[in-house]
Structures are given as C-alpha cells and as structure tokens.
Amino acid sequence: MATLAQAPSRSTAATGATPDAVPSVRHLGPNWYAAVMGTAIVANAGATLPLDIPGLRVAYRVVWALSALMLLTLVAARTVHWARHTDQARGHLLDPTVAPFYGCLSMALLAVGGGTLAVGKDLIGESAAVAADSVLWILGTLVGLAAAAAIPYLMVTRHRIETGTASPVWILPLVAPMVSAALGPALVPHLPAGQWQEAMLLACYAMFGMSLLATLIMLPVILARLIHHGPLPLALTPTLFLVLGPLGQSTTAVNNLADAAPGTVDASYAHAMGAFAVLYGVPVMGFALLWLALAAAMVIRAFRGGMTFAMTWWGFTFPVGTCVTGAAGLARHTGLTAFTWLAVALYLLLVTAVVVAGTRTAMGLASGRLLAPPAKPQPQPATA
C-alpha cells in the first residue's frame, strides 16, 4: 500500500540535512482515507446502539470531531500532493494496487457527514449538521459514483493485471455507492415532502442495487484467487476484512431505507421495504459472520507467520463497523435481543481494532517509519 514518504527539498541543500530527514506528501496515497473512515465509524456505529451509559455520547462527539479534523487535514495534504506531485498522483491512478483506494475518499466524506448529523448536531446544532451532512453526502456520492465507474474502466483499459493478483481491495470503489445508500435516508426527513423525499429514497435504492450487483460479480473473483493461488501476502491479509464492508453496509442500507419509507412512499411499498430489510439482512448478516470467521483465521495464521503493522490494519475497522450498524438495524426491525448483543460484541471488536490501528499509526508517524519512502530493492550479491 502507498504510504507517506519523503523527498528532498530546497532546505536540505542549505542545511546539509539528508533528504530522508524531511517529510513530504509525495507518496501520500488515497489509502490514508481509510483511517478517517475507521475513526468516524466508531461514533456512527455507537450512535445506533441502544446503550445508555453516562459519558458515552460525549465520547462519540470527541471521536466524531477527531474524524472531522483528520478529514480536513488529509484533504489538504492530498490537495498539495496533487498540486506539487502530479506525476505521482497520476501514477497512483495507473497503479492497480493503489487506484481502488480512491473509493476511500468518497467513504471518508460520507462517514464524517453521517456522523455530523448523528452525533455532531449535539455540538453545532441540527441546522448546521444537516447543511454539513448534505454537502458531504453530495460530494461523497459524486466521488463514489465516479470511482465506481472510472476505476473498473482503468482496470480494463490501462492497468496490466496479472493472473492470480485479485485482491479484496478491488471492492473499495464498488462499495462506495452503498455507503451513500446507507447514509442518504437520514437526510430524507429534511427534504421537502413529496417528490423530493421519494426521489431521494429511490435514488438510494438504485445505488444499493448498483453496488450490490457489482460486488456480487467481484466476490467470486476474489474467492477464486484465494482458492487457486493460496493466502494473500502477509501485509495484505487484513484486507480480507474489506469483504465485510458491502455485507454490513448493504444490511445497514436496507434497514435505514425501511426506516425512512413510511410517509415517503405508498404504504404498501413501505411495508414491503420493511419486510425486505429483514428477509435480506438476516441471511447476509449470517454470511458476514461466516466470512468474519474465515478472515479472522487467516489473520491469526498471518500473525503466526510474522505479519507486522501496516496501514492495511485499518481494514479491520470500517468493515466491522458496518456490521455493527447492520446488526443494530436488524435489532430494530426484528425486536430480537440477540441482534443487539451481536451489535455490541462487534462494536467492542471495532473499538479494539481502532485503538490498536490508531496507536500503531501514531507511533509509526512519530518514529518516522510511516514517513519513509518505499524501500528500494537491495542489489543481489555477485556470484562466482
């Protein structure tokens, strides 16, 4: 995965410092938006849980504010990256291992926007929260739709992909519209009644279908790669958790859409959407738990094989968070306490993953390891 790197600057010649001592955004890739997503989902998912613990809501606000600050900082850094290192930015688009991470920009915008309306309104007021979420949802949706179309186009026309290199990372641009579908229903009550609300609801259903069908095409390719070519490289093993993203997010989407349907569409349609939320969500959540078990077993194997920290560890966060919101939605519509306990258990896993990934990222930045340029291959010694 692309990471922060360093490059020489004018000041190095004047001070005599080595180029590696000066941080640069030259190698700052779009994968860093995963840290924003993983942080924001802690507040978003927590807000869906039926927990009444003193101080918990305050903690959600702090996490949301942190995710918003991270988003602003990263957007600024990526803007500098595109302005000053255009060649590298274009190179990322043409790199099949990096280009799919452009879907993370969309999901970071959407996640922070959703948190603004769910949690941030306690700090900035509901009117400001609705306005901020509307802007971020529109921007995130446009970026997500562009990525969902452009990245597969580049994979077909410009990328040179070798046999057996399929990766769960390929899902990222495809799942972005599903995040829009899951978070869009929260804006429905704030739109004018009638055509506007119905159009928003059905547009979210369209993005649900778009993302779902594209993901269903991609998942067999990823599973076939694992079966025929064996486990992923150690550093990429955490990306197996990315498969949970479309599963949990689609379950969240159908439940949120069912919540927004009454009074927005005809009563018969609203009833059908409520039934669909359960009939679709329960089987998909079951498959998500199966995949979670498989991915966890592969991660344990990778740890035993010597897997060390990399930015791919953020893959443990946002996808699990979507399963939290999906399980919480099923708890609302079925009334089953079992889904509530499942959501709480997954939330504890999410918080643990974010704390570990966040701490290791902070340590890596402080030590400079994550600011270092990609290691150059060592020359092979000559043989007699």
Q: DSSP letters along 30-86, please?
A: GGGHHHHHHHHHHHHHHTTS----TTHHHHHHHHHHHHHHHHHHHHHHHHHHHHH-H
Q: Which residue has the tokens 């921007």?
A: 139
**C-beta of residue 236 within 8 angstroms of C-beta of residue 312:** yes
Q: What is the pLDDT of residue 10?
A: 36
**Ranges in the chain, pLDDT < 70:** 1-24, 371-372, 374-384
**Residues 86-106: b if buried by 16+ CB within 10 A, e if exposed:** eebbeebbeebbbbbbbbbbb
Q: What is the pLDDT of residue 20?
A: 40
Sign (positive or negative) of CA dihedral 241, 72, 30, 374:
negative
**C-beta of residue 232 within 8 angstroms of C-beta of residue 294:** no
Shortest CA distance to 31 belongs to which of 318, 364, 310, 311? Answer: 311
Q: Which residue has the tokens 């897997």?
A: 307
**C-beta of residue 34 within 8 angstroms of C-beta of residue 315:** yes
Please give the model's pTM, rounded to 2 decimal places. 0.90
CATH architecture of 5-9+24-370: Alpha/alpha barrel (1.50)
Token digits for 308?
């060390």
Q: What is the pLDDT of residue 175?
A: 97
Q: What is the pLDDT of residue 54?
A: 87
Using DSSP, state whether 262 is helix, strand or coil.
strand
CA 132 to chain centre: 20
Q: What is the pLDDT of residue 15?
A: 33
Distances (CA, A) of 126 to 61, 173, 187, 231: 14, 31, 12, 47
Give the residue extent of every domain in the chain. 5-9+24-370
65: burial class by Cβ within 10 Å (0-12, 13-18, 19+)?
Answer: middle
Query: Mind spelling out the 3-state secondary structure of 93-135?
Result: HCCCCCHHHHHHHHHHHHHHHHHHHHHHHHHHCHHHHHHHHHH
Cα–Cα distance measured from residue 126 to residue 4, given in angstroms and rounded to the nearest whole number: 36
- How large is the angle between the packed helices 195-229 and 172-183, nearest 10 degrees? 150
Neighbouring CB atoms inside 10 A of 7's CB total 17
Residues in the chain: 384
Mind listing the pLDDT tens digit for each residue in 246-274?
A: 999 999 999 999 999 999 999 999 999 99
Q: What is the pLDDT of residue 114?
A: 97
Q: What is the pLDDT of residue 226?
A: 95
